[in-house]
Amino acid sequence: MPQNRQIVLDNCPVGEAVATNFKLVSTDTPALAEGQVLVRHHYLSLDPYMRGRMNDSKSYAAAQPLGQVMIGGTVGEVVESRHTKLAVGDKVVGMGGWQEYSVVDANVPGSLRKVDTTHVPLSHYLGAVGMPGVTAWYGLVKIIAPKAGETVVVSAATGAVGSAFAALAKARGCRVVGIAGGPDKCAYAVNELGFDACVDYKEHADYISLSKALKTVCPDGIDGYFENVGGMVMDAVLVRTNAFARIAVCGMIAGYNGAPLPMTNPALILVNRMKVEGFIVSEHMEVWPEALTELGTLVATGKLRPRETVAQGIEAAPEAFLGLLKGKNFGKQLVKLV
């Protein structure tokens, strides 16, 4: 059996996460028991939610245990099988974690999902046609539930979730506005992802300035907002929301280092009779087949053209993850392992 290199969480961050929170180790891959398969990972997914798990405090996901492989999504290939329904060469998606191989009990429901790479590249099953895409789908379809002609806004607009959100919202006849960091990301949002407009939050020192910019590109106000960031960005959006606006709260990356995120004008939730709903997409597995079908079609037909930032090798995962938290990635952040 092959040697397996892994990244484990060595210690919890104090404030900002740093590379020394992680440790690279090697271990022997165990022999397979009946019903198990050995998966060689081709890509592992890096996602903002992982930062919350690193804290020794309550988060919406279970804490990452110290000394154990970092939790995360993977795509790869079955290289050995003792399961009747999975053969060597099958391409699969799972939660293999930050390591080169994983031994998976394929009898556990949901542990692995076989995927077709004929029209959708394998890596996209960690982004547009995976958890981030379904996250965008759920927040838009089930919480914001837009009508054609409404204006919807998403922060972190060019990331894996934001890019899928744009394609899904345009397919429903919405005006779609993004909030992203930097002129290159805003140009990509408009020119390639199909956003009607994109606001560069880095050009604004406070929420009042950002709110004025949003007023220019959302002249009819904001009917739906998909929240990935929190802080100043959320304050700016709240000022521009219409009566009965719906906000899907997916992430609060501005607060992942442990700093509190006070709201400047929470009374606007009452004034505008808003619906504000947080959600975790893994709690809504019943929608995944419908969502993945639509997302796969959007990618296969070229209506969703997700971009990826790819780091090379398992040892690159910590620095790539820290870069993701600072917005250095362009689109979905992956680590290529083969």
Sequence letter at residue 40: R
User: According to the model, what pLDDT value does residue 162 have?
Assistant: 95
Q: Quick one: CATH architecture of 3-127+306-336? A: Alpha-Beta Complex (3.90)
Q: What is the DSSP letter of 333?
A: E
User: According to the model, what pLDDT value does residue 256 have?
Assistant: 72
User: According to the model, what pLDDT value does residue 58 have?
Assistant: 64
Element (H, E) at 114: strand 112-114
Domain residue spans in the chain?
3-127+306-336, 131-282
CATH number for 131-282 (one of 3.90.180.10, 3.40.50.720, 1.10.3720.10, 3.40.640.10): it is 3.40.50.720
Report the DSSP pairing between strands 91-94 and 101-105: unpaired
Give yes or no for a contact between 163 and 267, defined as CB atoms under 8 angstroms apart.
no
Between CA 123 and CA 44 the distance in angstroms is: 9
User: According to the model, what pLDDT value does residue 260 have?
Assistant: 80
Q: What are the Cα distances from residue 55, in Å, to 17, 195, 261, 315?
A: 9, 35, 16, 22
CA 54 to chain centre: 17
Between CA 131 and CA 154 the distance in angstroms is: 17
User: According to the model, what pLDDT value does residue 285 have?
Assistant: 92
- Bridge partners (DSSP) of residue 197 are 177
**Positions of the chain with pLDDT under 70:** 57-61
